[in-house]
Amino acid sequence: MGFIAISGIAISLAMDAFSVCVAAGVKIKDVTFRHYFRLAFHFGLFQFLMPLIGFYSGVLIESLIRRYDHWIALILLSLIGIKMIWESFKQKETDSAPKDPSRGLSLVMLSIATSIDAAAVGLSFAALELPIFIPSIIIGAVCALFSAIGLYLGTTMGSFLGVWAERLGGSILIGIGMKILFEHLF
CA distances 131 to 36, 53, 56, 125, 128, Å, are: 30, 13, 11, 7, 9
What backbone phi and psi angles, to 5 degrees, belong to 69? Answer: -60, -40
The CA distance from 83 to 106, in Å, is 22
Domain that holds residue 127: 3-185
Alpha helices in 28-159 (DSSP H): 33-65, 69-89, 104-127, 133-157
Q: How many domains does the chain have?
A: 1
> Model confidence over 84-102: pLDDT tens digits?
778 778 755 544 444 677 7
Eight-state DSSP code of residue 132: -
What is the rounded average pLDDT for all residues in the chain? Answer: 81
Q: How far apart are CA 75 and CA 153, in angstroms?
A: 32
Q: What is the pLDDT of residues 99-115, one digit of tens each?
A: 677 788 878 888 887 88
Percent share of the chain, pLDDT over 90 = 26
Tens of pLDDT, residue by residue over 140-182, are 999 999 999 989 988 887 656 666 766 776 677 677 678 777 8
Whether the full predicted model's pTM is greater than 0.75, yes or no, is no
